[in-house]
Structure formats: structure tokens, C-alpha cells
Structure 1
Amino acid sequence: MNEQQKKSVSKFLSLILRHQPEVIGITLDENGWTDVDELIAKMNTSGHRISFDELEEVVETNDKQRFAFSDDYNKIRASQGHSVNISLGLDPQEPPEYLYHGTVAKFLDSIRKEGLQRMSRQHLHLSRDRETAMKVGSRRGIPVILNINTGAMHQDGFLFYLSDNGVWLTDHVPAKYINF
């Protein structure tokens, strides 16, 4: 597969494994997993032809490790970013003292008033390093990087989870914990 084909498959997998599994008629279990053979069969009948080897290549080479196979490679799921109601089965973790969030200037007034919201997703995503937050923010324009005092949040009782691909997840970041 060339890079453009991998990107196209990755985008389609994000759609069906995070947001709309019904597009090809698959179901996700309570932890977001679906059967690999069924996924491949339904992708192929829906016009998105793929083999197991190609699927494995997309999962293994995805720069953000958006997807994961079960240990036996019989199931697959998105690592985080779901808008459908699932539980990733993650235990709360103590976050680093600071994490980062990439956004753009047009959202700053709202963030100053309401903090960071998870919007339609199950969790708000935070990055361990500024570079990753920069990439995230740049998807919508010129990035603005927010420094989040997650150590203080954790001390105040906020819960944090670490996804399989290293993205930190929480439900909300009040404005008082954000360094603009």
C-alpha cells in the first residue's frame, strides 16, 4: 500500500471504529472491540477493499497508533477518540505535573470562560509533549498550545486515563488549571 492508500484506510477505520460502525454494519462490544474477519468482510462488501495483511500494515504503521489489535489479532478497536458509548477499560492513572493541549486562537475566548470540554467525544485528549499538541492544533490552523496543570487537577480529584497509544484522557479541564 502506498501512503495515500494507508491514509484513506486509516480515515475510514477512524470513522467506523470511533463514530459510526453502522456505516458498514459492524457492532462494537462494550470495550470498543469488533471482530477482524467481520470488519474485513464488511469493508470489502462496502467498496473499501482490504486484506488482513493490509489492515495489519495500516495498524502497525499508523503514526499516532490510532488502532490496536487484541493479543490474538482476532479483534480490533480504536485506541481512543470515540463518540460512541464504549469503555476502554482503562484504570485511572496519576498524570505528569503538566500536559498540553493544541487548539487554535478562535476557541480561546470560550476556553477562558468554560475550560476545555470533551465536546462529542467520550474524553478530552491531552498530550505529553508540546510537539504532539502542536500537530493536533495545526489540523485547524495556526496552533496555540495550552499548558495544563494536571498535577494540581489530580490532587483536586480529577481522574486521568492513559490510552494504549499514549494519549492522556480526562473529562474536563476547568479554566483555572490552564496556562494560556
Structure 2
Amino acid sequence: MTSEDASKFIAYILRHAPESIGLRLDAQGWAGIEALVAGAVAAGRDLTTADVLHAVDSGAKKRYELSADGLSIRALQGHSTPQVSRSFEAIAPPPLLFHGTATRFLASIRAQGLLPGSRQHVHLSADEATAVLVGQRHGKAHVLRVDAGRMHAAGHVFHRAENGVWLTAAVPPEFLFLPPG
């Protein structure tokens, strides 16, 4: 398994499907590294402890965190699994945040705003370049600007994950700068 394949597999397991390899996460998303590796191997995946540690330390996204004792791992955000309910401190956002999406989703976003889908939060970026990279994963990228300052003033709550990703429950259309359409 390549490093990128290992990282994507770990993200899938820790965010969405721990039960697919018999793994149990606690309410904050922590799982033992040994249990993760053993579950992956039992499911026919060639994953080692070294692969897990490399995934934590590599990549610009910084998707994971190790426990203080180095024995457990968790995904920082992006969970869709109901047993994880990470708590993040509420924090005032910068005036403007960004969301990368594919152009084919713009009509739906125009009507409904940004919704978390199967995840627990909408993910936003502090910079446009990161949002472009996120949007490219889903097709031709389009970057939406979010009036986060006005949203916050209207009572919407924002959080920032340890890796700098901004999180909120949803972004209503009136807080988006959308292209005409």
C-alpha cells in the first residue's frame, strides 16, 4: 500500500467506517494504533504501525493526531460515524472564509446553502488556495467566499480544528458570495 493509499484508508476508517474492520472509536474519535493495524490486517489490508505513524507526520492536510502517549490516533475532523461527537471550542472566525466545491454542485448550493451532508460540520478554509485543492477532488473546482463575520454576528457558531480547518453546522445561502446563475 502506498503512503497516500494508507492515509486515505486510515481517513476512511477513522472518519466513516471503523466497524468495517472491527474497530471501536471513543466519543472523541480515538482508536488504539495496534487495534487499527490488527483490524486492517484481518480485513486483508497491508497496513503497519509505521504506515500509521507516517500518515500522521506526512501531508499538508494534517488529518490525524496522536495521543500524548503515542498509542492512539484520531482523525481531527470530518467524521460521519455517529459514535464520534468531538467537541470543539467556539471561536470567532475571520471575516471571510472559503469553501471549495465542484461547479456541478452550485445550483444546489444556491438553493440550500452549504450543508454538512454525511459529516457533522461544513468544512471551510482560511485561504483560497486550500479551498481550490478541496474543490478539485470533486471535479472542476469553484471557490465560494463565505461571509463568516456576518454569519458569526448573526449567531452562527464556528470552531477551528487543530489543523486549521474551520467548522460550522451549515452556511445559509445569504452568507455566500455566489456567481450569477
The reply to whether TM is greater than 0.5 is yes
Task: For residues 58-100 of structure 1, give each alpha carbon's deviation from its aligned partner in whole angstroms, at most 9, with x where no partner exists.
Answer: 2100321111111111111111111112122211111111000
2-structure distance, mates of 1:80, 1:20: 14
Q: What SS does the aligned partner of 1:101 have?
A: strand
One-letter code aligned to 1:61: S
Which residue matches 1:111?
109
Distance in 2 between the 1:113 and 1:136 partners? 21
Q: Say whether 1:17 aligns with 2:14.
A: yes
| Structure 2 counterpart of 1:100 | 98
Q: TM-score, normalised by structure 2?
A: 0.93
- Could you tell me whether the CA contact under 8 Å between 2:33 and 2:52 is conserved in 1? no
- Looking at structure 2, the residues matched to 127 and 91 of structure 1 have their Cα atoms a distance apart, in angstroms, of 17
Query: Which residue of structure 2 lines up, in the alignment, with residue 59 of structure 1?
Result: 56
Tell me, in whole angstroms, the C-alpha distance in 2 between the residues paired with 1:55 and 1:91: 27
Which structure 1 segments of 5+ residues have no match?
Answer: none
* CA–CA separation in structure 2 for the residues paired with 1:163 and 1:172: 16
The aligned counterpart of 2:129 is 131
Q: Which amino acid aligns with 1:11?
A: K
Question: What is the aligned-residue RMSD (CA, Å)?
Answer: 1.2
Counterpart residue type for residue 37 of structure 1: E
The amino acid of 1:72's aligned partner reads D
Partner AA of 2:155 in structure 1: G
The percentage of aligned residue pairs carrying the same residue is 41
Specify the code of the residue in structure 2 equivalent to 1:42: G
Question: Which of 74, 87, 90 is 1:89 aligned to?
Answer: 87
Q: Distance in 2 between matches of 1:32 and 1:74?
A: 14
Output the amino acid matched with 1:60.
D
Q: State how 1:164-179 maps to structure 2 within 5 Å.
A: 164-179=162-177
Please give the secondary structure, in 1, of the residue aligned with 2:47.
coil
Q: How many residues are matched?
A: 177
Distance 2:60 2:43 in 1: 26
Q: 2 CA distance for matches of 1:45 and 1:110?
A: 41
* Gap regions ≥5 residues in structure 2: none
State the TM-score, normalized to the length of structure 1.
0.94
